[in-house]
């Protein structure tokens, strides 16, 4: 996979899954569909292979990150946040409001498991070309030792990726 392209999967444990590949340099639009199969070594890594409709195939690999084992809390991310693409507020109740890439955004953040660094992040974009319902997840990650809240989300047509310093 080349730089600027990201994978979103709808898979289940112990199965092969379909995916869409999105091009972040083309407004996040989906450009191909494919299949990926991986073997997971719990809390260590995953490795596998992929192929898609564009006749691309290859190997995938990733190490496990202990950041997943950190706790989650709306209190870590509530407040008002802004950068070059967003200006939003997250309330202690998980309600999200603001502007993302010139779109109005309303939605919710929820915690599926407080013992894991994973947040459900579902929202609606309106009053713009990318209007629609989006489902995704967020996590607190580190960049040069600083904490950032990163969101990866999408729908049938495109994906969104954004972050802010937590």
Q: What is the pLDDT of residue 110?
A: 97
Q: pLDDT (tens digit, 9 = 90+) per residue, 78-107? A: 999 999 989 999 999 999 999 998 999 999
**Nearest CA among 135, 83, 148 for reference residue 109:** 135
Q: pTM to 2 decimals?
A: 0.75
Question: Between residues 50 and 98, which one has the greater pLDDT?
Answer: 98
In the CATH scheme, what architecture does the domain 67-165 have? Beta Barrel (2.40)
Mean pLDDT of 32-46: 78
Instruction: Residue count of the chain, please give it.
Output: 166
Strand locations in the chain (E) = 5-9, 17-23, 29-41, 45-52, 57-63, 79-82, 86-90, 95-100, 103-110, 119-126, 132-143, 146-154, 159-165
- Reading the block at residue 45, the tokens are 């890594």
pLDDT tens digits, one per residue of 62-78: 888 888 899 999 999 99
d(CA 18, CA 38): 12
Q: Of 68, 81, 88, 78, which Cα lies nearest the Cα of 142?
A: 68
The confidence band for 31, taking pLDDT boundaries of 50, 70 and 90, is low
- Whether the pLDDT of residue 129 is over 60: the answer is yes
- For CATH 2.40.128, the residue range(s) in the chain are 67-165
């Amino acid at each position: 996979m080349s730089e600027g392209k990201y994978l979103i999967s709808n898979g289940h444990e112990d199965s092969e899954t379909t995916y869409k590949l999105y091009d972040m340099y083309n407004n996040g639009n989906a450009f191909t569909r494919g299949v990926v199969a991986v073997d997971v070594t719990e809390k260590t890594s995953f490795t596998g292979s992929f192929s898609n409709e564009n006749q691309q195939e290859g190997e995938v690999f990733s190490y496990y990150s202990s950041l997943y084992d950190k706790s989650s809390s709306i209190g870590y991310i509530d407040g008002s946040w802004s950068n070059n693409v967003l200006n939003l507020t997250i309330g202690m109740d998980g309600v999200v409001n603001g502007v993302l890439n010139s779109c109005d955004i309303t939605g919710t953040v929820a915690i599926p498991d407080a013992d894991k660094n994973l947040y459900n992040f579902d929202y609606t974009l309106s009053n713009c070309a990318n209007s629609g319902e989006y489902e995704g997840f967020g996590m607190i990650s580190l960049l040069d030792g600083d904490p950032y809240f990163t969101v990866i989300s999408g729908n049938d047509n495109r994906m969104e990726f954004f972050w802010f310093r937590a």
